[in-house]
Amino acid sequence: MPNAETSSDSGLDFVAELGWANYRQHWVNRWQGCQHSEEQDYVAEEVPIVLVYNGISHVVMLATPTNLEDFALGFSMTEGIIQSAQEFLSARVYQRANGIEVNIKIPEQRFACLTDKGRNLTGRTGCGLCGASTLKQAIRQPPPVYSTVSVTAEQLTAALADLHSKQSLNQLTGAIHAAAWIEPERGIVDVREDVGRHNALDKLLGLLCRTGKDVNTGFIIVTSRASYEMVQKTAFMGIGLLVAISAPTGLAIRLAEQTGLTLIGFARHDKHVVYAHPQRLTH
């Protein structure tokens, strides 16, 4: 079965050896006005991904089956399961008949802190607070953000213009979100894609952790709204600027104000709205 797994950090290789597919071809009836055609289309897949910590299933997420080690690391960091990338001791990905299992090894002291072990809760594609069973788990306050990154409006506009060309899987299917890491003087450096916006962000944050990126050197663009958990995850990593192509929520704005994160929404072409801490963006 073909899999569009990423073969390198530079882009997608749509031919892989085995495993769950990222997309499938599907015959469709296409209409434009009175014009009709039958043709094959490309449809994005979402696959159950179970994250298993030290042998115990913790949560099942619906996600695009690419870059799963980055996803597991990013999720573990942003959910507070581990405190540093060094505590992510190992991860092994197993293809199963009904989904994918990611077996993660973390230090025993971190594992002991996991609440509700063995819940095996299901996280839907659009869910950003999956696995949280209490208000305290869901609404976690990140530490203050002290990022010194500085971005010009021209650099932001250039990154937005370049983003579509970097979304390989979305260009094929039209159903995939992206999270991009941008360094102002270099433009877009890394992109991760997923059918879920928060999954794409976790994959990108996991990549930044794995490669040891200095979070003061760049900022993030997400092709979605800026909901609360998107701000929460970004702030937990100490990244100072989050840009969304759609609107933020009120809770997201309040969290950005409290943590010191610069939050920008409705960023399209040369337009954008700054909702919190405008000092990192210059015009």
- Among 245, 136, 148, smallest CA distance to 197 is for 245
Place of tokens 């609107």: 247
**Which tokens in the block code for residue 194?**
């997923």
Q: How far apart are CA 185 and CA 159, in angstroms?
A: 10
Q: How far apart are CA 39 and CA 240, in angstroms?
A: 45
| Contacts of 29-33 spanning 24+ positions with Cβ under 8 A | none
DSSP codes of every residue in 239-283: --EEEESSPBPHHHHHHHHHHT-EEEEEEETTEEEEEE-GGGEE-
Question: Pick the catalytic residue: 113, 127, 130, 209?
Answer: 127
Other beta carbons within 10 Å of 8: 7
Count Cβ neighbours within 10 Å for each residue of 125-163 and write b for 16 or more, e otherwise: bebbbbbbeeeeeeeeebeebebebebeeebbbebbeeb
The DSSP output letter for 215 is G
Whether residue 209 lies in the annotated active site: no
Q: Which residues are catalytic?
A: 127
